[in-house]
Amino acid sequence: MAKGLNKFARSQLVVPLLALFLLIVYNLIRDIGFFSISIITNNDGDTVLSGNLISIINGASELAILAIGMTLVTASSRGQDISVGAAAAIAGSIFVNVLRGNQITITTILFAFLASCIVAILFGVFNGTLVAAFKIQPMIATLILFSAGRSIAYWINGGATPTVSSPLLEAIGGFIPGIPIPTPILIMILFGVLIWLVLKFTNLGLYTQAVGINEKSARLNGINAAWIKLLSFMILGVCVAIAGCVNVCRIGLINHESLLIDIEMDAILAVAIGGNSLGGGKFSLAGSVIGAFIIQALTITLYAMKVPSTAVKAYKAIVIIAIVVISSPIVKEYALKLRDKLFKKPAKITENSPESFSDGV
Amino acid sequence: MQNDIVLSMRKICKAFPGVRALQNVDFTLRNGEIHALMGENGAGKSTLIKVLTGVFPKDSGQIHIAGINREITVKSPQEAQNLGISTVYQEITLCPNLTVAENIFIGRGNYRFVNWRSMEKRTTEILAKLNIPARASQQLATCSLAVQQMVAIARAVDMDCKVLILDEPTSSLDEHEVAKLFSLMRELKSRGVGIIFITHFLEQVYEVCDRITVLRNGEFVGEYEIKDLPRVQLISKMLGKELDDISALQNRKASQAGSDATPVYEAFGLSSAEGTKAFDFKIYKGEVNGFTGLLGSGRSESVRTIFGADKVTGGRVRVSGKNVKIRKPKDAMKHGIGYLPEDRKQDGIIEDLSVRENIILALQVMKGFFRPFSRTEAEAFADKYIKLLGIKTASSDTPVRQLSGGNQQKAILARWLLTNPKYLILDEPTRGIDVGTKVEIQKLVLKLAEDGVSVTFISSEIEEMLRTCSRLIVMRDRNIVGELRDEDMTQAKIMHTIAGEAAQNG
């Protein structure tokens, strides 16, 4: 038990979990009912769950999905993809345009999603090829699509912001009749489980980490490093397509200028807050997902505190600096030392009998 | 405390989670002596030095230093420096883009007013005093490695050091440079500085040291006058067993030259993009052969080509008589070839992954992307080989980066043994590791050969190759220039072949 606790104390999830915990405690002190969940009947007459907790998790869905993909890209290629927002705008545009050309049924929605998925994966292949084959720094390689992506979306939409509406799409962006939990949360959970299964039943995790830590030696052990990097960008492509389509369903239209704007920075931030090194190598998807929740919880908290929306980013920055500094190795080391000092006092007494001391450790 | 003792460490203990790194270790350093600290990898040398220099806090024990009448506790390297304990590490820790004078004075005191002229003057004095062939205004990067090492020492000495720790200072120096370094060490010794010298080179210990302290498994074995401890005894103290094992190796090497059998591996006109000229090569079942030649002669490049580590540009390959294509490492692995690379850090270990993951990696890759080992399977594999090879690690979960060099090497060896190879290529498996592990690895090679594995063994130490190999391929300028076997395998003959004097009998 003590050993397990010790292991947990060193785990990278400590700081993000603690931050999330503090955020929750702070909100509870501010307003004891902040996280209360009520059952209401919405405009469509469905009985659904409502409350700040639900909005936080619901609002973080796209970010959490993107953060998962971003974690894999970071781990394998030791860099970040800054084009996810722009690529999501493209994926969303494809989704809307396929739907507008057809009658909206479950089949056409699936077909439209598949189309946007393929396009997003192709853009992932584009980024991945630049990174894996041409050895371009990920941030530079993805800068291309970052700049061009929203313009491409503009062309696809013919310069307009086409709308789509159908009860089916509302079900995806909102609630499925009869199920009180927002659908984006379900999609996020489904995707999380899927990735978890992939990591469990393949060597994706091991290979990705090996490539991220030491590419040369991974190759000498028969791992195709370029392919692993490309694969991580393709998986991120899938994440982008899901996030883009879910967001379109939420709003009911595609606005290439504002769809998931700045989400790439939040996604990278979620990875970092989750205790993952942006220099690649070892990773924790759970950390990144918690990171996404922290960012969203922070945003909602600030809105609840009536902070003007333009000022929200500055407040967010302050909290994030704190989290990132606290989880830095220097502070961690210091905290561990402090803990040893505070809790290992009895050891001092046995100083004269080193044998028993070392046994105790 | 006796008058001539400059440093005394008594009953030092230090434990890390799961490992007792030091147990009741004593160490005494006298004025004006060069004191070797010897032990295998993982014996506790580095830990002792790190305790002394304040990198790690000690768990218990006392440290006394001349001039201070009470027990001292060193909390940081900076404090150690203030107490007169200076360390010069294997990797030079100076700034190559600054001048010699700047390097000697950087980080010492007042920055607001720097008098460069007096600084250079002072540096010139120090350099002259210590016979260091460098100019004060010279950029450090333009000096040879040995001189850079000496500048680092000069910097340490100038800070009034009483105790100078030299941690593997000679490992990147050539013979001539080592001689220069030694004369500097003797110079300092005559000035009364106590020097702690850590090295893997036995000859150097006997050339320059006065006294030896031996550690084993974190315990103090003893302190000896150099004249009382001949080499063989030193080795046996370090290993903790009598050492006729090494000589016993001599006669065990299998002389398998069954030329009528099918070779396990055969190459014709093989060449790679890294500049190996086309070469032919074959190895039989249970044979140990070696590639020898000077550094840069192409021996490593040749074996990399065999494994497909570099881009293969031409040639045919047969494995057990069947034509196969080996274009990348995975092809070679599929045909039962394993490769332990020359550069352990760059090409071998995956430092942040656990010992377990490092060990199972190659077998896992061979098994396939969609068929990961379960945790239990992986643990069983790792534990088996940790035990078999005696890898010293807190657990199989420990990141391999935390292991000592020799143990990292064993982990990579375990990785390839686990794949059950038919043909194993070992490029410098014994580089930078201690004598005991070296012998263990050599024994292992011979054992593998007895079990029918073919091994290619490369080492810079010709003696090691003579002990283990039954056939030597000699290379010069990326060409195979000769092949020696049986009675032809002598140091002299190898030298002549490398030099291109004797008749080639390949």
Q: Does B59 touch chain A (CB under 8 A)?
A: yes
Contact A206 B370 (CB under 8 A): no
Using DSSP bridges, classify how beta strands B5-16 and B194-198 pair: parallel, antiparallel or unpaired. unpaired
Q: How far apart are CA B80 and CA B63, in angstroms?
A: 12
H helical segments located in B106-250: 116-129, 145-158, 175-190, 202-208, 231-239, 245-249
pLDDT digits (tens, 9 = 90+) for B113-165: 677 788 888 889 888 888 888 888 888 888 877 788 888 888 887 877 889 99
A-B CB pairs within 8 A amount to: 94
CA distance B266 to B280: 8
A326 pLDDT band, cuts 50/70/90, is confident
What residue in A sits closest to B375 (Cα-Cα)? Answer: A200
Residue bearing the bigger pLDDT, B288 or A327 = B288
- CA-nearest residue of chain B to A337? B57
User: A232 contacts in B (CB within 8 Å)?
Assistant: none
Task: Give me the phi and psi of B11, to 5 degrees please.
Answer: 50, 50
Q: If you ran DSSP here, which 8-state letter would residue A333 be given?
A: H
Q: Do A218 and B347 touch (CB under 8 A)?
A: no
Q: What is the pLDDT of residue A32?
A: 87
* Mean of pLDDT values over B453-479: 86
Residues on chain A touching B59 (C-beta within 8 angstroms): 351, 354, 357-358
**Which of B59, B333, B352 is nearest residue A357 as measured by Cβ atoms?**
B59
Query: Are B92 and B140 in contact, with CB atoms under 8 Å apart?
Result: no
Burial B100-139 (b: 16+ CB within 10 A, else e): bbbbbbeeeeeeeeeeeeebbebbbebbeebebebbbeee
One-letter amino acid for residue B108 of the chain: R
* HSE, side-chain direction, 13 A CA sphere, residue B422: 15
Query: How would you label B219-257 residue by residue, b for 16+ Cβ within 10 Å and e otherwise?
Result: bbbeebebeebeeeebbbbbbeeebebeeebeeebeebe
Placement of tokens 């980490």 in the chain: A209
pLDDT for the residue numbered A107 = 94
B295: pLDDT strictly greater than 70 = no
pLDDT on residue A31: 87
Chain B residue numbers with beta carbons less than 8 Å from the beta carbon of A352 are 60
Does the structure show a pLDDT above 50 at A257?
Answer: yes
Q: Is the pLDDT of residue B358 over 70?
A: yes
Q: Which helix (H) or strand (E) holds B485?
A: strand B479-485
How confident is the model at residue B116, as a pLDDT? 79
* Pairwise CA distance, residues B305 & B314, whole Å: 10
Interface check for B329 against chain A (CB to CB < 8 A): the answer is yes
Per-residue pLDDT band for A344 (boundaries 50, 70, 90) equals low
CA-closest candidate to residue A26, choices A304, A267, A271, A287: A304
What does the pLDDT average to over B354-358?
96
Distance, CA of B337 to CA of B51 (rounded, Å): 43
Contact B92, B145 (CB under 8 A): yes
Strand (E) or helix (H) holding B61: strand B60-65
Is A230 within 8 Å of chain B by CB? no
The CA distance from B29 to B460, in Å, is 34
Q: What integer pLDDT is reported at residue B2 of this predicted model?
A: 60
Q: Are B257 and B470 in contact (CB under 8 A)?
A: yes
How far apart, in whole angstroms, are the C-alpha atoms of residue B483 and residue B466? 13
Contact A291, A16 (CB under 8 A): yes
HSE toward the beta carbon, residue B269, CA cutoff 13 A: 4
Most confident of A133-147, B281-295, B434-448: A133-147
Torsional sign, CA B107, B111, B116, B122: negative
pLDDT digits (tens, 9 = 90+) for B481-499: 888 887 788 777 877 787 6
Q: Kindly tell me if the per-residue pLDDT of A360 is higher than 70.
A: no
Residue A3 has pLDDT above 70, yes or no: no
Instruction: Note the pLDDT tens digit of each residue in B37-94.
Output: 988 777 888 889 989 988 888 889 999 988 887 888 888 888 888 888 888 877 667 8
Do B352 and A209 make contact, defined as CB atoms within 8 angstroms? Answer: yes
pLDDT interval class at B502 (50, 70, 90): very low
In Å, how far is B40's CA from the nearest CA of chain A?
Answer: 22
Mean pLDDT value across chain B = 85
Question: pLDDT tens digits for A6-63?
Answer: 666 667 888 889 889 999 999 999 888 888 888 888 877 788 888 889 999 999 999 9
Check if B406 contacts A (Cβ < 8 Å): no
Q: Given an 8 Å threshold on Cβ–Cβ distance, is B60 in contact with A357?
A: yes
On chain A, the residues whose CB falls within 8 A of the CB of B330 are 222, 224
Q: What is the pTM of this model?
A: 0.74
CA distances from B122 to B128, B180, B245, B359 (A): 10, 22, 54, 53
Q: Judge whether residue B503 has pLDDT over 80.
A: no
Contact B21, B215 (CB under 8 A): no
Cβ neighbours of B351 in A, within 8 Å = 213-214
Q: What's the maximum distance between 2 C-alpha atoms anywhere in chain A?
A: 83
Query: Which band of pLDDT confidence, cut at 50, 70 and 90, is reported for residue B109?
Result: low
Task: Inform me whether the pLDDT recorded for A359 exceeds 60.
Answer: no
CB A358 to CB B20 under 8 A? yes
Residue B292 has a pLDDT of 85
**Mean pLDDT, residues B280-290 taken together:** 91
Q: Which two tokens stand for residue B108?
A: 């010492």
pLDDT of residue B110: 56
Residue type, A93: S
For residue B259, what pLDDT is reported? 52
Comparing A57-66, A159-168, B291-300, B352-361, the range with the smallest average pLDDT is B291-300
Specify the pLDDT at position B25.
93
SS3 state at A259: coil
pLDDT band at B303 (very low <50, low <70, confident <90, very high): very high
pLDDT at A109: 95
> Which residues pair with residue B15 across a beta bridge?
B20
Nearest CA in chain A to B369: A203
Segment A261-303, tens digit of pLDDT = 999 999 999 999 998 988 899 999 999 999 999 999 999 999 8
Question: Stretch B108-112: mean pLDDT, rounded?
Answer: 62
Over residues A161-176, mean pLDDT: 91
Query: What letter represents residue A100's amino acid?
Result: R
Q: Residue B242's pLDDT is what?
A: 56
pLDDT score, position A206: 95
In this complex, the residue of B13, B348, B350 whose CB is nearest that of residue A213 is B350
Q: Which of B163, B130, B160 is nearest to B146 (CA)?
A: B130
Average pLDDT over residues B306-312: 92
Token reading at A340: 């040893």
Q: Tell me, what's the pLDDT at B45? A: 87
Q: Which two tokens stand for residue B465?
A: 């190759």
Interchain CB contact of B61 with A (< 8 Å) = yes
Q: Which residues of B touch A361 (CB under 8 A)?
A: 15-17
Residue A347: the pLDDT is 41
The answer, yes or no, to whether residue A354 has pLDDT greater than 50, is no
- Lowest-confidence segment of A67-76, A87-96, A129-138, B433-442 by average pLDDT: B433-442
- Please give the pLDDT value at position B437: 82
- Asked if B339 is an interface residue toward chain A (Cβ–Cβ < 8 A), one would say yes
Whether pLDDT at A96 is above 50: yes
Q: What percent of chain B has pLDDT over 90?
A: 36
pLDDT at A201 over 50: yes
What is the C-alpha separation between A84 and A105, in angstroms, rounded? 28
Q: How far apart (Å, rounded) are the C-alpha atoms in residues A83 and A92?
A: 14
The β-bridge partners of B279 are B270
Tell me which amino acid residue B197 is: F
Question: Residue A115: pLDDT above 80?
Answer: yes
Dist CA A255 CA A253 (whole Å): 6
Average confidence (pLDDT) over A113-124:
97
Assess whether pLDDT exceeds 80 at residue A138.
yes
Give the tokens for residue A273: 């807050």
Q: How far B418 CA sits from the closest chain A CA (Å)?
A: 13
> Per-residue confidence at A95, pLDDT binned at 50, 70, 90?
very high
Q: State pLDDT tens for residues B315-331.
A: 999 999 999 999 999 99
pLDDT of residue A37: 87
Phi, psi of B15 (to 5 degrees): -120, 140
Taking the C-alpha atoms of residue B136 and residue B154, their distance in angstroms, rounded to an integer, is 12
How many CB atoms within 10 Å of residue B49? 20
At residue B255, does pLDDT exceed 60?
no
| Beta carbons within 8 Å of A57's beta carbon, 6+ residues apart | A182, A185, A293, A296
A 10 A CB-CB count for B259 gives 8
